Amino acid sequence: MFLIKPQSKDAIYIQIKKQIIQFIALNILKPDDKLPSVRNLASDLGINPNTVAKAYEELEEEGIVYTLAKKGVFVSRNDNIDDFIVEESLNEFKYITKKCLKNEVSKEVLIDIVETCVKEDLNA
């Protein structure tokens, strides 16, 4: 279910957070679904349990998951998940835009691409 990319610019705990948010957005994880235990997920991914714990803690602080003592971590009933997805999408867009500019893709080409994408989406 989870895929960690060691070469990613994102820390492993961030990758876990992003994937959980994505799974919720895609309705793979639904409200009140139980997440894998910290130990099980860490073992499956071959990473330190503290890394998974950090991801879960941040998700809980953001209201995306909740913890029940001795029962586990569960997906919250969160109507604001779209806000997190929009924010993450914009961050990715900014990163890719900066990468394109660094590789000498012109501003005009980038604008054309965005306009084409918007037109295609409106016509879909």
Spatial distance between the Cα atoms of 27 and 33, rounded to a whole number of angstroms: 11
First and final CA of the chain: distance in angstroms? 30
pLDDT at position 124? 67
Residue 20 near residue 55, CB atoms below 8 Å: yes
Higher-pLDDT residue of 12, 82: 12
Over residues 61-92, the pLDDT tens digits come to: 999 999 999 999 999 987 667 777 788 788 88
Return the domain boundaries, the chain. 12-75, 81-123
Amino acid at site 119 = K
pLDDT confidence tier of residue 19, bands split at 50, 70 and 90: very high
Topology given in CATH for the domain delimited by 12-75:
Arc Repressor Mutant, subunit A (1.10.10)
pTM score = 0.70
